[in-house]
Amino acid sequence: MKFFVDTAETKDIAELAATGLLDGVTTNPSLIAKSGRDFIEVTKEICGLVDGPVSAEVVSLDHESMMREAEVLRKIADNVCIKVPLTFDGLKTCKALTGDGTMVNVTLCFSANQALLAAKAGATFVSPFIGRHDDNGFDGLDLIRDMRLIYDNYDFQTEILAASIRHGVHVLECARIGADVMTAPPAVIKGLVKHVLTDKGLEGFLADWAKTGQKI
Ligand code: E4P
């Protein structure tokens, strides 16, 4: 499973990119607003920090305006992935852009039928929002399961990009189901390495090693 980080904070992205474990980045208008940075400028900087896809979202609602915004965004760098909403205009834009060889992430997916439409529109990625699904009394992971089944039934190449990930159990279950990618906030990704028994074991090994008086 590929790991994308869901943030526009360049310091966090650089830190995770340095581990070699980061495969891409997702942003959205709320994350750009939170960063307080200029959209084009920060996106350009992020694209230089990772080799993989960097999702940058259009903010218009009609196809023509989405295409105009996509034109501006895809000029930023070769690894920009245009993010469009799961609406008919978004799907039309997805079809036009991917037909042209541009990566597209269809976002705000909350049903398997929406995901089916995104695949038919040739999406590179589709982003089902697990956490927001859970918040509203549905099982976000069931959506990922349905999508995996449907995409495999028809051999769709669209990658399932599990989004709105809130904790390690979401990550684990997505990997079990076979999501292609997951995107999570930096804290969730950093938290995956933690285990109390790892810390305790390391502490014990180092204490015993100190007793030997040796050096490597
Ligand atoms: C995905 O691309 C979205 O940016 C993101 O995962 C939304 O997550 P949230 O529900 O935590 O805002």
Question: Structural domain boundaries of the chain?
Answer: 2-212
> How far is residue 87's CA from residue 108's CA, in Å, rounded to a whole number?
9
Please report the pLDDT score of residue 157 as a whole number.
Answer: 98
pLDDT of residue 69: 98
Which band of pLDDT confidence, cut at 50, 70 and 90, is reported for residue 159?
very high
For ligand 1, atom 10, the nearest C-alpha belongs to 164
Q: What is the pLDDT of residue 6?
A: 98
**83 is annotated as an active-site residue:** yes
Question: Looking at residue 22, what is its pLDDT?
Answer: 98
Ligand 1 atom closest to the CA of 132, numbered from 1: 10
pLDDT bin (cut points 50, 70, 90) of residue 208 is very high
Determine which residue's CA is closest to atom 11 belonging to ligand 1. 164
Which of the listed residues 6, 7, 59 should we mutate to test ligand 1's pocket, taking the one with most ligand atoms within 8 A of CB?
A: 6
Give the up-direction half-sphere exposure of residue 83: CA atoms within 13 A in the CB hemisphere.
Answer: 19
If 0-12 CB within 10 Å is exposed, 13-18 middle and 19+ buried, where does residue 25 land? buried
- Distance CA(43)–CA(92), nearest Å, equals 24
Q: Is 125 touching ligand 1 by the criterion CB < 6 Å?
A: no
- Tens of pLDDT, residue by residue over 117-139, are 999 999 999 999 999 999 999 99
Nearest partner of 24 among 42, 41, 7, judged by Cα: 7
For residue 42, what pLDDT is reported?
98
Give pLDDT tens digits for 32-74. 999 999 999 999 999 999 999 999 999 999 999 999 999 999 9
pTM over 0.75? The answer is: yes
| Domain formed by 2-212, architecture | Alpha-Beta Barrel (3.20)
The dihedral built from the CA positions of residue 44, 61, 158 and 148, taken in this order, carries a sign that is positive
Quote the strand ranges of the chain, DSSP E: 2-6, 24-26, 54-57, 80-85, 104-109, 125-128, 159-162, 181-184
As a whole number, the mean pLDDT across the chain is 98
